[in-house]
Amino acid sequence: MRILKSILVVALVVATLTSCSSVKNMAVPTMDTAVSMAAKKGTVSDEQFNHWAHADLATDTIPGMSVDKAYKFLEGKKGETVIVAVIDSGIDIEHEDLKDVLWTNPKEIADNNIDDDKNGYVDDIYGWNFLGGNGDAAPEQLEITRIVADLNSRFEGKTAADISAEEKADFDKYQEYLEAYKKSSSRHFQQMDRLEQIGTNFSAVKTFLGKEAVSIEDLQAVKTEDEELQAQIGDILGLMGRGLDEKAYLEYYDTQKKNKNYDFDFDGRAIVGDNPEDITDVKYGNPFVIGSKDDESHGTHVSGIILAKRNNGIGLNGVANNAKLMSVRAVPDGDERDKDVALAIRYAADNGAKVINMSFGKSYSPNREWVIDAIKYAESKDVLLVHAAGNSSENIDVSDNWPNDSFDKINEVSDNVLTVGAMSVNYNENLPATFTNYGQKNVDVFAPGVQIYSTVPKNEYAKYSGTSMASPEVAGVAALVRSYYPQLSASQVKHIIMNSGTELDMEVLVPGKKDEKIKFSKLSITGKVANAYNALVLADKMVNKR
Of residues 88, 123, 295, 444, which has the active-site annotation? 88
CB 344 within 8 A of CB 87: yes
Interacting residues of 150 by C-beta distance below 8 A, sequence separation 6+: none
Strand ranges inside 372-451, DSSP E: 384-388, 417-423, 445-448
Coil, strand or helix at 421: strand
Distances (CA, A) of 531 to 77, 233, 349, 419, 527: 19, 54, 26, 15, 13
Catalytic residue list contains 414: no
Q: How do beta strands 353-358 and 82-88 pair?
A: parallel
End-to-end CA distance of the chain: 49
Q: CB under 8 Å to 504, separation ≥6 — which residues? A: 63, 431, 520, 521, 527, 528, 529
**DSSP result, 506-539:** -EEEPTT-SS-EEEGGGSSSS-EE--HHHHHHHH
For residue 154, what are the CA distances in angstroms to 175, 180, 223, 278? 12, 18, 57, 21
95 catalytic residue (yes or no): no
Catalytic residue chosen out of the listed positions 468, 471, 500, 524 = 468
454 is catalytic: no
**How many Å apart are CA 518 and CA 400, to the nearest integer?**
22
Which entry of 298, 301, 387, 495 is annotated as an active-site residue? Answer: 298
> Which residues are known catalytic residues?
88, 298, 468
